[in-house]
Structures are given as C-alpha cells and as structure tokens.
Amino acid sequence: MGYQPAIPTDGPMTIETAEPAPVRIFVDADACPVKDEIYRVAIRHGLPVIVVAGGFIRVPEDPLITRVAAGSGMDAADDWIAERTGADDIVITADIPLASRCVKAGSAVIAPNGKPFTEESIGMTLAVRNLMTDLRSSGEVTGGPRSFTPRDRSTFLSTLDTTIRRVQRQRAARIQQQS
C-alpha cells in the first residue's frame, strides 16, 4: 500500500468539512538550506508541510510531512507549487519568479534567509532579479548571492514563526466572518 499524505496535496482544499483545511507550508526544496528548521517549526505548530522537488528528496517520516517529486521539466516544482497554493498557505522559496506567483495567489512567502516577499516588495525584487540576469547574460560579472549565515537561519526561524501566527489569525478571522 502506498504512502497517503495526512493532508491532500493535489489541489485547492474543497472538501466540505466542519472546518476548512489548515494552514499548509510548501517548500521549494531543491536548494533550500532550512528544511530541518521548517520541519521542526511545522511539527510544533501541527501544520502539514509539502516538500516539492524536481526528483526524489529525503524527508523525515512524519504524517505531517509529504514529499512531491514534481518532475525534471523546467520549473516543474515551481509550477506544482504555484498551481496549488492559496491564501492560507506559506511558501518557502528563494526563487523570485515563484515567489511572485505565490504572492499573487495570496500566499505568505518567505525566502530561506527570512526575507518576506510581499505585494509591496515583490515588484522591485523581480525587477532587480531580471536586471541582474540581463547583466550576467551580457557578460557582466555580478557575483553571486552572499553566503548563507547562522544569522540568516535565526532570522528565518523568527520570520516563519511570526508568519505562521499571522496567517492563522487571518484564517480564523475569515472563518469567523463566514459563520
């Protein structure tokens, strides 16, 4: 018998139940340096984590953690996440185009260094990313991203915990308004 995730991951939550689906955490996992931290925080809060990668990726054996091998196609993992995320979800990614798509879908989005992507910041972030891509393709040496530091890890943990609490409050307020 195959592994069955605790929380369905194949689309928006539309099953009629007494309570809407919980906040979910989607992880763009191929190059994510904070996966272990995400697992610990999510388990502490009792939130499902969907770990999405191009191929197989090892995850802890926990009913709250589901892995998805989205395929090796260009942006397959990004497309998988963007098609399924919504207002009650948190997305962890360093991929700026994916962050933009998820912010537009209403998700809370955090980079592994703890930087939140918001509606206010994503336009400029995407523009700078595109400019740097253009400079690199024209032969300019622009350097790469700075090294990931212990301070980044600490900032990420704080931002993730704050974001979980904010999204849960917003979700509870929305549910109360609908009642």
pLDDT at position 137, please? Answer: 72
Q: Is a pLDDT exceeding 90 seen at residue 18?
A: no
Q: How far apart are CA 52 and CA 44, in angstroms?
A: 21
Question: Given pLDDT bands bounded at 50, 70 and 90, which one contains residue 44?
Answer: very high
DSSP for 119-164, please give it.
HHHHHHHHHHHHHHHHHHHTT-----PPPP-HHHHHHHHHHHHHHH
Taking the CB of residue 97, how many other CB atoms lie within 10 A of it? Answer: 15
Which percentage of the chain shows pLDDT scores above 90? 58
Task: Report domain extents, the chain.
Answer: 24-137+149-178
Residue ranges of alpha helices (H) inside the chain are 35-45, 76-84, 96-104, 119-137, 150-178
Q: Model confidence over 48-101: pLDDT tens digits?
A: 999 999 998 999 999 999 999 998 888 999 999 999 999 999 999 999 899 999
